[in-house]
Structure 1
């Protein structure tokens, strides 16, 4: 989501009237370290996904049950969070979400069923619930779309000036439209992922379904981030063109 927030911040850079926003605040909202993003993605792939799959496979080969192997796989996101904490002295949200999904899935299964397949179905339920929540934020029940707040968190440098700059962009119609569009696409994306999970969990062997549950969400998230970057850049260029046209328009 880091890339999403930064790119959306750029989307209104060319909006007419943008010059009214102080330069220092613009700079604060556009700080984006590509190197940090790549390192963060590598940590996610290696620990949250790769190590989880490896531990699950080793545990299964050593005779562990599906339920036990699933529990052992939680070491991946735990170590990923530790690596993130050592680097930035903060807890990695991605790792927390993955770990929470594992813990909640296991807890529900222990209470209601001893079928390991239920674990994977709980992943689908949680993913679908997240999609519904994101889409619900587009309704009048929420002050602003959920992805707007994600952008404010990850698309600025965290300073008060950066947050003020981000909030000032809400006055522009194109920015509001872009936030709603991005929120809608992410919500639909998570709902589609949830449906796909249910299909392969019910139709494929547990090991295969588990592997897909680890890899596909990352692929979908990367795809959504890539689309968001493309869409935000297109919106930004359109804003710059409108600003240029307004500047040369005769009085």
Structure 2
């Protein structure tokens, strides 16, 4: 039976007595959009934030004030993405959560800028824990499966159904768990590294690392995920090819 094969199913269309394979409703990686999104993050989320932080410090602002002023950079980047796509994605939500938590820490009386940087570590570590927890029976499917559905299909109901149909194959289930484990471990490692340099390095240096390193880790994880997913698809194609011969 097809459901027992460890490969990726192919969509088919009926033409008389013959069955011809058709391309699954998967969305191709849009390299142009990926590059634009990466540039927006580098210029605004990182570049503008660091520039505002440096200018504020040069003008005599405290570490705490400069940190809060630098939040304008990510907000501008989020606004640009909203204008381009008419939606606020998960990155924008995370940025808003970080800003809101920073303000909350300030309002409850903590004026130690180090606390704000450690807060970043707590958020990153918490995200890593949630991602890894999604590998347990408490969650129906790993968290990265749902992100894969967002970026790996054309966004239609047919595309979502196609993505869900892949879950019956062991190779697909295994790949989603491996990818989820990698992202969870990556974010936990990032959180531990943040705590280490926040507690041992000057504030300005720790702030700079907090802005740059997360983007580097995310880019590396994205590149590895695309490579690993492509390798899994090629392996599934090789397994299923003999069964599709006339």
TM more than 0.5: yes
Partner of 2:7: 16
Q: Aligned runs of 1:58-137 on 2, under 5 Å? A: 58-111=55-108, 113-137=110-134
Match of 1:155 in 2: 152
In the alignment, structure 1 segments of 5+ residues that lack a partner are 1-13
* SS of residue paired to 1:231: helix
More helix by share: 1
Give the length in aligned residue pairs. Answer: 234
Per residue, is there more strand in 1 or in 2?
Answer: 2
What is the distance in 1 between the residues matched to 2:28 and 2:234?
19
Greater radius of gyration (CA): 2
Between 1 and 2, higher relative CO (CA 8 Å, sep ≥ 6) is seen in: 1
Counterpart Cα distance in 2 of 1:133 and 1:21: 38
Deviation at 1:245, TM superposition (A): 4.7
For the Cα contact (< 8 Å) 1:77–1:96, is it kept in 2? no
Scaled by the length of structure 1, what TM-score is found? 0.87
Deviations 1:99-123 (A, max 9, x none): 3213213412442522110000000
State the 1:34 CA deviation.
1.2
Q: Aligned equivalents of 1:142 and 1:40: distance in 2?
A: 30
How far off is 1:167 after superposition? 0.8
2:108 aligned counterpart, secondary structure: helix
* 1:186 lines up with 2:177 in the alignment: no
Distance, in Å, in 1 between the alignment partners of 2:73 and 2:8 is 47
